[in-house]
Amino acid sequence: MSNGSQHIAVFGPGLMGASLLMALRAKRPEAKLSVWARRDEAVAEVMRRGLADSASADAAETIRGADVAVLCVPVDRMAEVAAAIAPHIRADALVTDVGSTKEKLVSRLENDFAANRNFVGSHPMCGSDESGLDAARADLYEGALCVVCPTSASRPELISRAEELWKSVGARVTQLSPADHDAAAAAASHVPHVAAAALVELMGRERPEFRELCATGFRDTTRVAAGSPDLWSAILAENADKTAAALSKLEAILAGYREAMVKADRQQMTKRLAAAAETRAEIFRRT
């Protein structure tokens, strides 16, 4: 069987899952697509939109015969879906996911699929402050980075199959261990999310007429704070240790700026701001 005609089962037709289905439809028309949704209305909506060949609220039915299963539910819902599909999965199938945290999740899901070592974790980095089926689009994965997170327990052919899946919808692929992924994601995504929400909370405590001064800078700096509170509290809870440690470092950096202001140490401020501007340019020069 060529990769093109794989049976791919997607669990959860939200932003990530429905966008994956749309991308697979467009780029791999021979693939057989099945989808599981928790609610009957979502099952009906998926079929109405023609996103998959079959849709069901029965996970066992969705996984039957699949070469690849992609768990696209929030990180705190992964366990129940895994439990529902594990007894019915083919021994040679890949199970992967789109969870924004990896260390604890990979450990649990490797355990759920231990019998045949089906699981290899993935994190395609193309979330948005939008969520749900209505926000889905066929090009969500195009050019995005997908971090694949194998461990010593991962089967090499399933690592390859995961990488091929994400490349087939246009993503760039890199590998990090689950622990390194979570440390990197804390600094690149989870702490910035908390900082954005904290900046909004700070502004919210000021007098209402002060809000008028929130211009494009404030809008961009806090954009991610518009994201789903449930989704994000689940992410922060999953990556609590590394995010809390990074937050503590951020607080120390902010205190450093504050002390420089109190001491009127303009040289120190300029130096730190110049270093940050340079680091940021380096980070985005590669893209």
The answer to whether 183 contacts its own copies (rule: CB under 8 A) is: yes
AA identity, residue 4: G
Q: Please list every residue from 258 through 277 that binds its own copies, using CB under 8 A.
A: 258, 261-262, 264, 266, 269-277
At closest approach, how far in Å is the CB of 285 from its own copies? 10
At closest approach, how far in Å is the CB of 202 from its own copies? 5
Residue closer to its own copies (CB basis): 2 or 216? 216
Residue closer to its own copies (CB basis): 152 or 287? 287
Q: Please list every residue from 139 through 178 that binds its own copies, using CB under 8 A.
A: 144-145, 147, 174, 176
The answer to whether 206 contacts its own copies (rule: CB under 8 A) is: yes
Q: Please list every residue from 101 through 140 that binds its own copies, using CB under 8 A.
A: 125-127
The answer to whether 224 contacts its own copies (rule: CB under 8 A) is: yes
| Residues 48-77: x where in contact with its own copies by CB under 8 A, - otherwise, as a string | ------------------------------
Residue closer to its own copies (CB basis): 153 or 214? 214
| Residues 19-48: x where in contact with its own copies by CB under 8 A, - otherwise, as a string | ------------------------------
Residue closer to its own copies (CB basis): 9 or 234? 234
